[in-house]
Homo-oligomer: A and B are copies of this chain.
Amino acid sequence: MLPPETEDQKGAAAGLASETADIGTRFTPGVPAPTMYAGASHLLEAARDASKCIFVPRGDLALGTLVPFKGRRAAGSRRMRSRRRKPDPAAGHDLEALFRPQSIAVVGASANERSQGYEFVQGLVEIGFPGPIYPVNPKLDELLGLKAYPRLEEIPGPVDFVISAVPASAALEVVDGAKAKGTKLIHFFTARFTETGREDAAELERELSRRIREAGIRVIGPNCMGLYYPKEKITFDPVLPREPGNVGFLTQSGSHAFRVIMRGKDRGLRFSKVISYGNALDLNEADLLEHFAEDPDTEVIATYIEGLRDGRRFLDALRRAAARKPVVVLKGGRTAAGRVAAASHTAALASQQAVWQAAVRQAGALEVGSLNELIDMVVAFSLAGPAKGPRVAVLGGAGGETVETADICHEAGLDVAPLPQDIREALRDKMPHAWDWVGNPVDGSILGWGRFEALEVIQLMAASPAYDLIFANARGVEHMLNREDGEKIFWNAIDVLKRLGKENGKATVIVMGEPEFRDKRRWKAAMSAREEFAKAGVAIYPDIERAARSMGRYVRYVAERQEQQ
């Protein structure tokens, strides 16, 4: 085992990578960096140990990085070898058959309820996977009422899909067993390979790669949560929702898979498939993106990527996918600090931010900077509704929040268009105290939340041709619970807001966060209202900023796509 890199070496490599990515196209694939450094020697000097670096290019947009030779040499070489493989243009189609297994074995199944080897089996049982589920573990006779087998080879029927939760040292055995059973797809939850930075672990991963290729088995992982496909009743965790939806998510991080599904659930999102693919030993970002682009159940694609295995093919796939459906892209390891973290997370060699951003934009996809932003944008694409322009009718909350909502909507690029005269006239008799005073945003406080005339105004605005969008700040609506008949007024308000978008065929977002009051009644009401919105498939956001920013980006994205068509 080689000594691990020091942090200094890592830091130097990361710094150099970020400096050289811009001039990456000067390099020839596979040639050690110093040889090619004719015109950029000052950059070399910036690196302490540049002679030990190689440049690993991926694709025509210089999405490559310099990586230290020492301790990474073999991994780098492997990556270059893998480039020589011809991409399989039919891969996107073929995967669907793999993702619909008739039988599943969980190798490393465990009776320890806190282990993932238990949860994989439990998840499949509880979601109701209709085919046979085979726990595999020589120490078990049965698990959750299912007969267990000591080895894959001893399972009587065919095994289409193997989930591996064994330690890395047993991974090769799993491949041999799966080969014997004619298995087409293995998911390796199994981790501790290249991401450890250790040479013995990296060598094991390379051997694994050779072995699966020989066996003709496709692999998800290693070091990931695998497949969540609720329509086919496949899940990696029993707590995930069972209803399928229209969002496809491919992610290198397993915990992000979990987070996006669970946070998304609270926001009303449901998924066609989520695939956590970890170190991308075999199936990579390009394969999966191609798959989602063609998948008829997927209407919105989200991606979390730390490092590209095949940059050129990925960008091609991104361009084609974005031409068909919205693609939201989050890049882990955008920064020098993130790159170091990504390397020890999924062994990814991340690329330079500006280059990446330009490439994503050029491909017609939407880049985001955090997981929350990714969820926010998917909520907009999946739930907000049709956006025909930027003119937004705003329910502003109350008082200062009305001003804040106006400012933030404006800053997000939305047009807080004045209240049209016909609506003002329509209000003259109804609201003699405020018809001339009320405006856009509608201020709940000048209209009396209690009687909730603000609702009447926003309904008129929502129906008016003067507006393309609806932005309703419902924070604080729970204050009206304090009034006489509070429950009725409150739930009526929620009901009106819930129907506003669909009734008017306009993109609509609702702001509904944690209430300021901590008394149980109002807290519970606000939380239940949030659930109601999510259940109704209404786009909800926890604060004004995130709602406005998301709607602004959504509207611009739609407008730009229309211009291009």
Are A369 and B406 touching (Cβ within 8 A)?
no
Given A4-B437, A114-B484, A437-B198: A406 in contact with B340 (beta carbons within 8 A): yes
Are A337 and B445 touching (Cβ within 8 A)?
no
* A284 contacts partner chain B, Cβ-Cβ < 8 Å: no
User: Digit string of A437-451 for contact with B (CB within 8 Å is 1, else 0)?
Assistant: 111110101100010
Residue of B369, B436, B440, B544 touching A411 (CB-CB under 8 A) = B369
Interface size class of A (residues with CB under 8 A): 35 or more
Additional 7 contacts, C-beta under 8 A, given A335-B411, A345-B443: A4-B436, A332-B400, A332-B403, A334-B407, A341-B441, A369-B408, A371-B400
Which stretch in A22-30, A32-40, A250-258 binds the other chain?
Answer: A250-258
Which stretch in A136-144, A415-423, A498-506 binds the other chain?
Answer: A415-423
Closest B residue, CB atoms, query A259 = B516
A468-515 contacts to B, CB under 8 A, are: 476, 482-484, 514
Are A345 and B255 touching (Cβ within 8 A)?
no
* CA of A545 to CA of B409, assembled, Å: 20
* CA of A544 to CA of B370, assembled, Å: 9
* CA of A334 to CA of B404, assembled, Å: 9
* CA of A7 to CA of B416, assembled, Å: 12
Which residues of the partner chain B approach A336 to less than 8 Å between Cβ atoms? 410
Nearest Cβ on chain B to A471's Cβ, whole angstroms: 11
Are A517 and B344 touching (Cβ within 8 A)?
no
Residue of B196, B396, B411, B517 touching A341 (CB-CB under 8 A) = B396
Are B337 and A410 touching (Cβ within 8 A)?
yes
Are A545 and B372 touching (Cβ within 8 A)?
yes
Nearest Cβ on chain B to A274's Cβ, whole angstroms: 13
Nearest Cβ on chain B to A185's Cβ, whole angstroms: 23
Which residues of the partner chain B approach A262 to less than 8 Å between Cβ atoms? 516-517
Are A342 and B439 touching (Cβ within 8 A)?
no
Which residues of the partner chain B approach A397 to less than 8 Å between Cβ atoms? 255
Closest B residue, CB atoms, query A11 = B418
User: Digit string of A525-560 for contact with B (CB within 8 Å is 1, else 0)?
Assistant: 000000000000000000111000000000000000
* A239 contacts partner chain B, Cβ-Cβ < 8 Å: yes
* A129 contacts partner chain B, Cβ-Cβ < 8 Å: no
* A122 contacts partner chain B, Cβ-Cβ < 8 Å: no
Residue of B306, B405, B411 touching A403 (CB-CB under 8 A) = B306
Given A4-B436, A114-B483, A544-B370: A399 in contact with B337 (beta carbons within 8 A): no
Which residues of the partner chain B approach A87 to less than 8 Å between Cβ atoms? none
* A402 contacts partner chain B, Cβ-Cβ < 8 Å: yes
Closest B residue, CB atoms, query A476 = B255
Closest B residue, CB atoms, query A446 = B344
Which residues of the partner chain B approach A259 to less than 8 Å between Cβ atoms? 400-401, 516
